[in-house]
Structure 1
Amino acid sequence: MELISFVLTYFLSKDLVMMTAYVCWTPEEISELYRRANRASVRLVVVSDFPRAPLMEPRGRFREAMLLDLACPDAELILEQASASRGFNCRHSWLLLHNASSDRSFIEDTLASCDILPDADVVWSSSERLVDLYRIKPGLPLLQTELGLARNCSRQEMLALWGALPTAVSRRKDLRNMTMKGISLVSQPAHFKGWSDLRNRQIDTFPKLTYPLMMLVAQDLHFRFDLRQVDLYGVAHNGSFDGLVGRLQCQEAEVGLASFFIRPDRMQVADFISETCVLTCTFIFRQPSRSAVSNVFLAPFSGGVWAASGGVAAAAAGLLVALRRARERCRPQPDLQLFTLPEAFTFALGTLCQQGFHSTPAVTSVRAVMFSTLLAALFVFTAYSAKIVAILQTPSDALRSIDDLTRSPMLIGVQETTYKKVYFQESPDEATQQLYRRKIEPQGERAYHSVVDGIARVRTGFFAFQVEQSAGYDIIKQTFTEREKCSLKEIEAFKLPLVAVPMRKHSGYRELFATRLRWQREVGLMDRERRIWLVSRPRCEASGGGFVSIGIIDVLPALQVLALGAFISVVLLASEVGVHGIRRKTRQYHDAHQLHEQTTIDA
């Protein structure tokens, strides 16, 4: 029973409380194993029928202890299953029991067909020693490291060993100049001028950002890439991917040298080992003046002020009519005959527009009403004019949300990318969905532009362009003036997933790569590459506000009112001419009829 004590001590020293035992022991020994495991609070599963052993899942929430007695018949079936299903990984801690021998050549012969790669935790246990095992690459010899303990060691000795022993990643980070298959992406070979070409950052940005990071990993882990290139990231077709993801899915490459979005469909066929950057896609536009998106002539006053101004004008008109009627009862005045109700309304409207009146009555009370009305209208008009000037001169914040963009007359464009429609359609935000249905979908393919064309339209037109920030900023820095940079605004439409480095599903090098990339992030090497390839927002360095020129669009509502008034006047003129013609013909008809009747009577 010393073997059972050793097994439980070994796994408990690693804080493993779930164990699967592949053994062919006697019922008494198995019962004793169950009893001691229960006493040690270890959840135990014993498998004795090796041909019907359950599959080993390479991924899970918890680490699991795996015990295999190599003296059992059909033990090689368990080794083959673990190798084929990637059961030799960091999730499963294997203890291989063999009482007969710990000779290096014997271990190599026994495990010759097993893919025990660098992320595996496999220990060979003989009666006199423990040996840590892994191989750099399938087909290469096992690397065997004696741990310096035997089965008769105590738990304190094991804890001391694990405390002093470097991690598996630290011990195994020398891959001894092996060659590893890598896959990268060049979407536009005609424009590709090398991995360090900074002239066109917006073309294949993420492959160019990832390439030096992965080359540094190769140098750090001492291996070489057998590099291949594709021109697509990969799209699913009936469960199978093409492009870069497809190569990883078919296990034609071990790791990708191009970062891309972490998506659920891609996670089914590939692993992601480290995020490289957070990508933000926003609508970039030049904030329009308030008059471009709303009627600036209605903006100066609130509804209450407009109502109060209208009330004062109506009260003045009513008072003038009342004074005329009161004066007529006492002594009629010819100049007061002008103040009929329509004329009083015309006076009130003209007063608000600073037009005055064409007549000045001699009655003092009427003059007082007219003077006070004109003075009140002067104050209102002065405040109104000053507010309009302030609105036209101050920076605008007319568009601040997706809803504002949807309601505005601004045209919308989207960067031409592989995900140009996907994230709009998948967005849970109703405002984003509404923007897509109203502004983007009706345009069809005309809504999608290259970065250069889209940013050019932002500069020259009433246009909002949804673009990757870094790509857009690169063109903006090259083409915009300082004052134009200061007018730029951004609205984020949706959150994009993280951009990460992909790897073959259940790769045996995942932990090695993840650890070294994490180290690059901690020491600032990854941030350095981001600053090189991802352009930051250009700073606004234009000094002084200056004057804002006023265009047709700023006075367009006034011109529309003028045009509407002219149209109504023409319609009324035509109506008056028509009515006058009808009346004249009616009068001529009546005159002729009366003349005819008179002639008849005379006859």
Structure 2
Amino acid sequence: MEATLGMTLMLADADVAWAASNQLLDVYRIKHDQPLIATPLGDDAARAVLPAAPTRRRHLNNIYISGSVIISLPQYFKGWNDLTTRHIDIVPKVTYPLMMLLAEDLHFRYNLKQVEWYGENRNGSFDGLAGQIQRNEIEVGITSLFMRDDRIQVMHFFSETFELRGAFIFRQPAMSSVSNVFLLPFSRGVWLATGLVLALAAVLLALIARRQQLRAVDEAMERLSFGESVIFSVGTVCQQGFHVVPDLVSARIVMLCSLMLALFAFTAYSAKIVAILQTPSDAIRTIEDLTRSPMTLGVQETTYKRTYFAESTQPATQKLYRQKLLPLGDRAYLSVVDGVARLRTGLFAFQVEEPSGYNIISKTFTEREKCGLTQIQAFKLPMVAVPMRKHSGYKELFASRMRWQRETGLLDRTRKLWLALKPRCDAASGGFVSVGIIDVLPALHVLIAGMAASLFFLAIERSMARFHRYVPTCKSFDVPCRQQLQRTVEA
């Protein structure tokens, strides 16, 4: 048998039976440089239903299998069991204990190398760990890689480990930054009804004053013009008094009802304003909203930082990439710590792997800040799986035992240990939000516009006064005065 089969490569996945005159043997090698292992199958083996080869071969006799681990930031690496920096190299750290358990289960050991890159395709040739597998320098990667089409052509994947989600995480902007908070408390119907009632009050006061001017009963109402009636309505809205105190009961009733209306409306308005200022908006819900918003963007510094934006077929994602990210250049790409720190400043959205981002957020954000977080997925990342040399003789064996880890809950336990979930919101109604300049900016605009209008009309009034001072008023039949007016105008 040894002479016939020679150095034929029949590793643990192979299912080869050697039939001799007096026995039937199950034949395979543990490694290419190891001797054949022959196991008798018995006399009834031809009629028996044998378990699959990966099920029968669970002991690899402590052989060494070559592999590589990824440590992209060696200066921050503190060990495979260190949970304090799990946001760094989180994918290798999740996969490493699974692969160590696989080696213990199948009784083999690793001959490990260390690289810093997952591997990018450069004209068909990969670098990093993917390049080592492509060149057959290692048998298996002790990490997980994205299952991309270009990688599938040069390597195989034998077990999916978890789904890695990436999303833009941001704090919803304050309502005042996306809309005028001074218009939001009342619906359009309430605004119209309030305006009509106050306009009606101004008209009624003007009519009453007009009748009093004819009858000369109430001196205060005799001095009230229509313009002053309008000023009364505006002052009522602003909770201001009025200089005219009429004696007529009808006029007093109009004023009293107007003031009561303004009081009730102002109370409801103030309460609603406070609630709006304490509540974040929900103005940004889609990628299109994020593109139109005043937010600046950042992306986590990863191998695929530009790849999936550039390859995305979604028009909204492409538009966001061209308008928001490309103009920033390399300044758009940040570490997880720096990107999450900028999230707290407000108008900033950070594209990050969710477990890494939420790990930092859970440590640095206050409870109220955690409640204001929103996420939008720009593109869906492929599944991550453990890579292996193409046509490896251990693929089915390793895949079978990794499935066992998934079925028994070991894989899920590792995921929960290393992958941080979105922090719970336990303080949605607690604390206070400071009011900034942006919250009262519409009021400042109104003040500035009023000041500008007052200066404009002041200039007109002074011009008219100067004109009347130097140009006398003449009657049509006053010929000498008209001649003097003509000479003044010509001068």
TM range (shorter): 0.7 to 0.9
Aligned-partner SS, 1:361: coil
Specify which of 271, 280, 287 is matched with residue 396 of structure 1. 280
Pair 1:371 & 2:256 matched: yes
Cα–Cα, structure 1 residues 173 and 306, in superposed 2: closer, same or farther, change >3 Å?
A: same
Q: Partner letter of residue 175 of structure 1?
A: L
Pair 1:282 & 2:176 matched: no
The answer to whether the Cα contact below 8 Å between 1:280 and 1:496 also exists between their aligned partners in 2 is yes
Cα–Cα, structure 1 residues 540 and 595, in superposed 2: closer, same or farther, change >3 Å?
A: closer
Pair 1:447 & 2:341 matched: no
Which residue in 2 is equivalent to 1:569?
A: 454
Give the C-alpha shift of residue 530 in structure 1. Answer: 2.6
Matches within 5 A, 1:78-157: 104=1, 108-125=2-19, 130-148=24-42
Give the C-alpha shift of residue 140 in structure 1. Answer: 3.2
Specify which of 468, 474, 477 is matched with residue 359 of structure 2. 474
Which residue in 1 is equivalent to 2:475?
A: none
The answer to whether the Cα contact below 8 Å between 2:67 and 2:139 also exists between their aligned partners in 1 is yes
Cα–Cα, structure 1 residues 189 and 251, in superposed 2: closer, same or farther, change >3 Å?
A: same
Which residue in 1 is equivalent to 2:295?
A: 410
Give the C-alpha shift of residue 258 in structure 1. Answer: 1.3
Q: Which moved more, 1:551-560 or 1:500-509?
A: 551-560
Which residue in 2 is equivalent to 1:27?
A: none
Give the C-alpha shift of residue 434 in structure 1. Answer: 4.3
The answer to whether the Cα contact below 8 Å between 1:293 and 1:398 also exists between their aligned partners in 2 is no
Give the C-alpha shift of residue 135 in structure 1. Answer: 2.2
The answer to whether the Cα contact below 8 Å between 1:185 and 1:230 also exists between their aligned partners in 2 is yes
CA displacement 1:188-210 (0-9 Å, x = unmatched): 23333333333422222222222
Q: Quick one: distance in 1 between partners of 2:267 and 2:366?
A: 36
Give the C-alpha shift of residue 301 in structure 1. Answer: 0.7
Aligned-partner SS, 2:324: helix
Matches within 5 A, 1:36-435: 104=1, 108-125=2-19, 130-148=24-42, 158=46, 161-162=48-49, 165-325=50-210, 335-336=220-221, 338-393=223-278, 395-399=279-283, 401-402=285-286, 403-435=288-320
The answer to whether the Cα contact below 8 Å between 2:368 and 2:431 also exists between their aligned partners in 1 is no
Cα–Cα, structure 1 residues 361 and 541, in superposed 2: closer, same or farther, change >3 Å?
A: closer
The answer to whether the Cα contact below 8 Å between 2:280 and 2:372 also exists between their aligned partners in 1 is no
Q: Quick one: distance in 2 between partners of 1:338 and 1:420?
A: 74
Aligned-partner SS, 1:202: coil
The answer to whether the Cα contact below 8 Å between 1:277 and 1:530 also exists between their aligned partners in 2 is yes
Give the C-alpha shift of residue 421 in structure 1. Answer: 2.6
Q: Quick one: distance in 2 between partners of 1:596 and 1:409?
A: 60
Which residue in 1 is equivalent to 2:476?
A: none
Aligned-partner SS, 2:48: helix
Which residue in 2 is equivalent to 1:528?
A: 413
Structure number, greater radius of gyration: 1
Q: Quick one: distance in 2 between partners of 1:380 and 1:543?
A: 28
Q: Partner letter of residue 134 of structure 1?
A: Y
Q: Which moved more, 1:317-326 or 1:561-570?
A: 317-326
List runs of 5+ in structure 1 lacking aligned partners. Answer: 1-103, 151-156, 599-603
Give the C-alpha shift of residue 513 in structure 1. Answer: 1.0
Give the C-alpha shift of residue 339 in structure 1. Answer: 4.8
Q: Quick one: distance in 2 between partners of 1:256 and 1:492?
A: 28
Give the C-alpha shift of residue 407 in structure 1. Answer: 4.3
Give the C-alpha shift of residue 366 in structure 1. Answer: 3.2
Q: TM-score, normalised by structure 2?
A: 0.85
Which residue in 1 is equivalent to 2:389?
A: 504
Pair 1:552 & 2:446 matched: no
Cα–Cα, structure 1 residues 462 and 137, in superposed 2: closer, same or farther, change >3 Å?
A: same
Cα–Cα, structure 1 residues 576 and 443, in superposed 2: closer, same or farther, change >3 Å?
A: farther
Which residue in 2 is equivalent to 1:60?
A: none
CA displacement 1:401-450 (0-9 Å, x = unmatched): 23554444333322221222333344455544444344333333222211
CA displacement 1:169-223 (0-9 Å, x = unmatched): 1212222222222122121233333333334222222222222221221222222
Q: Quick one: distance in 2 between partners of 1:596 and 1:368?
A: 53
Q: Quick one: distance in 1 between partners of 2:23 and 2:481?
A: 137
Q: Quick one: distance in 1 between partners of 2:420 and 2:255?
A: 65
Q: Quick one: distance in 2 between partners of 1:440 and 1:338?
A: 65
The answer to whether the Cα contact below 8 Å between 1:451 and 1:467 also exists between their aligned partners in 2 is yes
Q: Quick one: distance in 2 between partners of 1:487 and 1:366?
A: 51
Task: Indicate the RMSD between aligned Cα atoms, in angstroms.
Answer: 3.4
Which residue in 2 is equivalent to 1:90?
A: none
Aligned-partner SS, 1:555: helix
Cα–Cα, structure 1 residues 415 and 591, in superposed 2: closer, same or farther, change >3 Å?
A: farther
Q: Quick one: distance in 2 between partners of 1:597 and 1:287?
A: 69
Q: Quick one: distance in 1 between partners of 2:484 and 2:231?
A: 42
CA displacement 1:291-343 (0-9 Å, x = unmatched): 34332211111111112112222222333344445555666976445554433
Give the C-alpha shift of residue 471 in structure 1. Answer: 1.9
Q: Quick one: distance in 2 between partners of 1:422 and 1:306?
A: 51
Give the C-alpha shift of residue 511 in structure 1. Answer: 0.8
Cα–Cα, structure 1 residues 144 and 264, in superposed 2: closer, same or farther, change >3 Å?
A: same
The answer to whether the Cα contact below 8 Å between 2:173 and 2:346 also exists between their aligned partners in 1 is no
Cα–Cα, structure 1 residues 282 and 596, in superposed 2: closer, same or farther, change >3 Å?
A: closer
Give the C-alpha shift of residue 543 in structure 1. Answer: 9.9
The answer to whether the Cα contact below 8 Å between 1:413 and 1:449 also exists between their aligned partners in 2 is yes
Give the C-alpha shift of residue 245 in structure 1. Answer: 0.9
List runs of 5+ in structure 2 lacking aligned partners. Answer: 473-479
Aligned-partner SS, 1:120: coil
Q: Quick one: distance in 1 between partners of 2:368 and 2:226?
A: 54
The answer to whether the Cα contact below 8 Å between 2:69 and 2:112 also exists between their aligned partners in 1 is yes
The answer to whether the Cα contact below 8 Å between 2:66 and 2:111 also exists between their aligned partners in 1 is yes
Q: Partner letter of residue 36 of structure 2?
A: L
Aligned-partner SS, 1:138: coil
CA displacement 1:246-283 (0-9 Å, x = unmatched): 11112221110111222222222221211222222233
Q: Quick one: distance in 2 between partners of 1:284 and 1:384?
A: 33
How many pairs are equivalent? 481
Cα–Cα, structure 1 residues 185 and 313, in superposed 2: closer, same or farther, change >3 Å?
A: same
CA displacement 1:346-367 (0-9 Å, x = unmatched): 2222222222432133444333
Among the aligned pairs, what percent are the same residue? 56
Pair 1:464 & 2:366 matched: no
Q: Which has the higher contact order (CA 8 A, sep 6+)?
A: 2
Cα–Cα, structure 1 residues 317 and 437, in superposed 2: closer, same or farther, change >3 Å?
A: farther
Give the C-alpha shift of residue 585 in structure 1. Answer: 7.2
Q: Quick one: distance in 2 between partners of 1:419 and 1:338?
A: 78
